[in-house]
Every structure is written in structure tokens, then in C-alpha cells.
Structure 1
Amino acid sequence: MKPTAILSALAEEQRGLLELLQRPQKTRHAGRDFWQGELHGQPVVLALSKIGKVAAATTATALIERFGVGRVVFTGVAGGLGEGVQVGDVVVATDFLQHDLDVSPLFPRYEVPFYGKARFDGDTALTALLYAAACGALAPAEAGRSVQRFPQARVHQGLLASGDRFVSGLAESLALQTVLACAGHAVLAVEMEGAAVAQVCLDYGVPFAAMRTISDRADDSAHVDFSRFVDEVASHYAQAIVERFLLSLSIK
């Protein structure tokens, strides 16, 4: 089986996974560290995308070209935009959009030139496995194993919007949500890498799925205790969800 790539933007999001990696082997390539090994019985490559669409696209390309991965999974954090998407929730992406892409009037706003569409779908089967893994990880404790840190935490499925801007003000957040909704894009959360990785994976025909833990509501409090949230919540969610996801690959 080809290895599964597990991507995150920040080292803190992936620390627990790296500590569990068996027979780790580090390769330095394209200015990045790639860790090959086994995780829960599956061959994997762990990597940090760095922050932003260009950096994420570079990393995804390297994973496919240099390491021959068979699928790419992204774990990380995002700002909640959609109604009912709260801090501590998890969003599993069904599709991806670049909210800062505008080549109008040559192409409709948000449409990626020469692709004929604005939204790139996640792989249906891979996304279903990731969604099931997220639901299982956040379910009421089974023998005390639940990692849920928020009593009302939920798992959502829907559109993720990516852009090279950290959306952190209430006015900006509301404006972005409104303009996207008017264009027919009901977005659940905003981040900075997913749509770029989705486009690269489409180009190469490699299945892609992504999940994001909601660290804030992309408003004026978006910077508050961000690092602490990533370390104490998001990293634990990622570890538990990835474990269930990889085990489901073994069963599949």
C-alpha cells in the first residue's frame, strides 16, 4: 500500500503523531522535514505544510512526486464562520474554495482559471472515513477514551474556505461570510491551506481529505490563547482522529 501523507501547518498540531511514529526516518527536501514510518500499522509520511497556500502546494507536490503517497490527509485548526460552528467543534471538509481568488471580469469571482469551477471536492470515500473517525473520537467516552474537551462539541461536514490572510476581526469575518453566501458558497470555516492542497491533489489524481478543529470564531478574539488551544485541544483531537482513520484503512 502506498503511504498516507498526514499534513499539518504547525508543529504543535502534529507533535503527538510524530512521537508515536514507528521506525521514523527523516528526509530533508524542498526546505522541509518529511518523516516516514509506520503509524497504527500503516505506512505514513508526516510533514508540515507551513502556512499559506503556496507553501501548502509546494509540500503537497513534494509528497506526491518525491514520496509517492497514495492519499493526503490534512489536520489542523480553523476559524469558524458558519452558523452553529463553535470553538471545540470539528469540521470535515466536503469541498474547498479560495476566498481571496478574484480574476474577474475574465472569469467569475472565485473560479479557478481553466478549471471551470470555484470549488474542489474532497475525495468522497476518504472524507467519509475521516468523518466517521472524527465522530468516533468525539463521541461520549468509551472506557474513558473520548478526547472531547467541550461538552457540546460537534462534527460538521461542509465547505472550507482558504486564503492567504488570517481572518481575525469580527467585521472582516461577517463581511467574508456574507459575500461568500451571496455567491452561493455557504462556508463553515476559514483557514489558509486546504484549497491549495485540494487543487494539487486533483491535478495528480491523489485522494484528499481534511479536518479542522475550530479554535476561534474568526473574530476579534481569534488570537486569544491560540497556541494553548492548539497544544491542549487540537493536537489531541488530531491524534485521536488520525488513529481511528488509519485503523479504518486497515479494515477497508
Structure 2
Amino acid sequence: MSTAILSALTEEQSSLVEHLAHPQRVMHAGRAFWLGELHDQRVVLALSGIGKVAAATTATALIEHFGVARIVFTGVAGGLGDGVNVGDVVVAQDYVQHDMDASPLFPRWELPGYARSRLACDPVLTAMLLEAVSHCVSGASGPWGLKTATGAAHVVHQGLVASGDRFVSTAHESRHLRTALCSAGHDVLAVEMEGAAVAQVCHDYGLPFAAVRTISDRADDEAHGDFAEFVQTVASRYAEQIMLSFVKLLQKT
């Protein structure tokens, strides 16, 4: 069975498509899906679309129409946690929807019908993804030669990621969001717009899911400019190196 690799950005997807053996482009549900092989592993590549609804539709199509065995997501995110800086990488341990609020019927952030606020990623897939990321970050060559402004190496984090249908782009908003979540015990590392929806779909279908997000900005007043520059210069290389390393690890399973 195939492994689905969902990407948030065209720049990330195009570099992976170039590595496909026996590529086949299939249109379904208004989306382009690329079927082929990476390191002798059958894969389906797709763009998630922006926002939770688009991502959920894509994940459902991958499961229902293409019959994938697992879904792995690669993309970028805004850093919220202390020490989560631009260029760092966050491997998701679990997800929360920061814009879910069905109170007073349910506690804020709780998913109605699930009796929980957070959905966990698959531990086996997550461990493999963490190994792939750690291998890439520790390498001295390639895109990982990039350093922080202080000259330090970038850091790999693992923990909670928040998703919502909003691009968080002011320091005030990011502080408010983090403070509110932390006060309820949700110590969030990063914020983005799709992962929690895919996690929920995979939970419903009993499908393993893992996700990695490279930090493109600090979800502050400079977020728009930082995001645009990061996407153009770095994001595609990060996704390419991480996913190729991850697929090699799949060969061993």
C-alpha cells in the first residue's frame, strides 16, 4: 500500500515530484495527485490546500480513492513556543484546533463527539519522522548548512502544534493565543492551518498520521515578509531532504 505525502506548498511538492520514479498524474476532486515511487516505496503526493476544510477533503480523498496506508504531512508553521526560531523544525506529537470553540455546550477547544481537545499523531511514524529530521539537521552539508542569526545550529522540537483557519501574523495575537492555550494546559510550539484537520480525518479512519513543520516565521508582525522569503528560498529544500530521508527509513519496516 502507498504512503501519502501531503505538502502545504507548491514549492515543497514540486521538488518531490522531480524525484518520482514512474510518475503518474491523476486528477480527482479538483486536485492533482502524483503517483509513483520514492526509493522503491509507493507514494501518492498531493497538495493539502490552505485551511482545515481543504486539508480534510484532500486527506479523505487519499484514503477513500487512493487507499493509502498512512499520511505524512510536511509544511511550514509560525513559531509560538519559547526557543522555537525561524529555521527550526517541529515534529508534531499531537494537535489542537485553536479556533474550536463550542462553549458553553463543550469546554473550549474540545472536539464535540471526541471528548478530547487534542489528537495524537502515530507514535511509530512520528519516531521515524523525528529520526529523519534529526539526521538532516545534524548534517553539515546541503540546506542544513543554514544557521541562526547567532551562528547556532537549528533545533528539532517535538510537541503540540495548533491549527486554525487564520494566518497568525501579529505579535499581540500570537501572545494572546499562546497564553490562552497554555492556561488550559496546551503548551503549543507552533501554529499553522491544516494539520489538525488531517489528524482528525486519520483518527476517524484509524490511519497512521505524522507531521513535520519547519518554522518560517515567529507568527508576529514580520510574519508575512518572513514567510514569503522563507518559502521561496528554503521550504522546498527542507521538505525534499526530510521526506527522502523518511522514505528510506520506510524501506526498513
Query: Where on the TM-score scale, by shorter chain, does this alignment land: which range?
Result: over 0.9
The letter of the residue matching 1:147 is W
Q: 3-state SS of the aligned residue for 1:6?
A: strand
- Determine if contact 2:143/2:237 at 8 Å carries over to the other structure: no
Give the aligned CA root-mean-square deviation in angstroms. Answer: 1.0
| Structure 1 residues 201 and 148: alpha-carbon distance in aligned structure 2, compared to 1, 3 A threshold | farther
Give, in whole Å, the separation in 1 of the partners of 2:40 and 2:154: 29
Deviation at 1:73, TM superposition (A): 0.4
Give, in whole Å, the separation in 2 of the partners of 1:181 and 1:208: 24
Give, in whole Å, the separation in 1 of the partners of 2:162 and 2:177: 10
Q: 3-state SS of the aligned residue for 1:224?
A: helix
Give, in whole Å, the separation in 1 of the partners of 2:116 and 2:156: 27
Deviation at 1:50, TM superposition (A): 0.6
Deviation at 1:227, TM superposition (A): 2.9
Aligned match of 1:95:
94
Deviates further, 146-155 or 4-13? 146-155
The letter of the residue matching 1:181 is C
Give, in whole Å, the separation in 1 of the partners of 2:170 and 2:34: 36
Runs of 4+ in 1 over 4 A off after TM superposition: none
| Structure 1 residues 171 and 146: alpha-carbon distance in aligned structure 2, compared to 1, 3 A threshold | closer
Give, in whole Å, the separation in 2 of the partners of 1:101 and 1:67: 29
Q: 3-state SS of the aligned residue for 1:83?
A: coil
Aligned residue-pair number = 249
| Alignment match of 2:144 (pick from 119, 144, 147) | 147
Q: 3-state SS of the aligned residue for 2:161?
A: strand
Deviation at 1:235, TM superposition (A): 1.2
Deviates further, 117-126 or 9-18? 9-18
- Determine if contact 1:126/1:208 at 8 Å carries over to the other structure: yes
- Determine if contact 2:6/2:46 at 8 Å carries over to the other structure: yes
- Determine if contact 1:112/1:118 at 8 Å carries over to the other structure: yes
Structure 1: which 5+ runs fail to align? none
Say whether 1:68 aligns with 2:70.
no
Deviation at 1:173, TM superposition (A): 0.5
Structure 2: which 5+ runs fail to align? none
What's the % identity of the aligned pairs?
Answer: 63
- Determine if contact 1:147/1:236 at 8 Å carries over to the other structure: no
Aligned match of 1:121:
120
- Determine if contact 1:137/1:148 at 8 Å carries over to the other structure: no
